[in-house]
Amino acid sequence: MKFYSELTKKLYDSQADLQTAEENLKNAEAIKKKKDMEAKLKRAEDVKKVNQALAEEKEAQRKANKALQDFVKKYGYFHTSFTLNDAEAKAVRDNVINSSLGSLLDLLASFVE
């Protein structure tokens, strides 16, 4: 006689084989659920770290802006040096913006045609 398992949707030669297969399936599902839960918890921790870092960045920028405003109120201006690296960074940034703008204009032109 064959035994059919509703869980595994298979036939087994003995009831013991069926019970073993169902237990193995339940154990595998429990392990998967545990791993999924651990992954969710890890992701939540990482989200908290990122949010904390962003909050710290915002606070540091606020302090820097306040210090700059106070300096300008006191002395009238704040001079920063312009280096070649700054120029290269600006060129790269402008290049990205221009290429994105060009892509957008090409896309719009294709719709008009």
pTM of the full predicted structure?
0.50
**What element of type H or E holds 5?**
strand 3-5
Residues of the chain with pLDDT > 70, as a percent, come to 74
Q: Is 1 helix (H, G, I), strand (E, B) or coil?
A: coil
Cα(87)–Cα(20) distance, rounded to whole angstroms? 69
Q: How far is CA 61 from CA 56, 57, 85, in A?
A: 9, 6, 22
**pLDDT confidence tier of residue 1, bands split at 50, 70 and 90:** confident
pLDDT tens digits, 36-65: 999 999 999 999 999 999 999 999 999 999
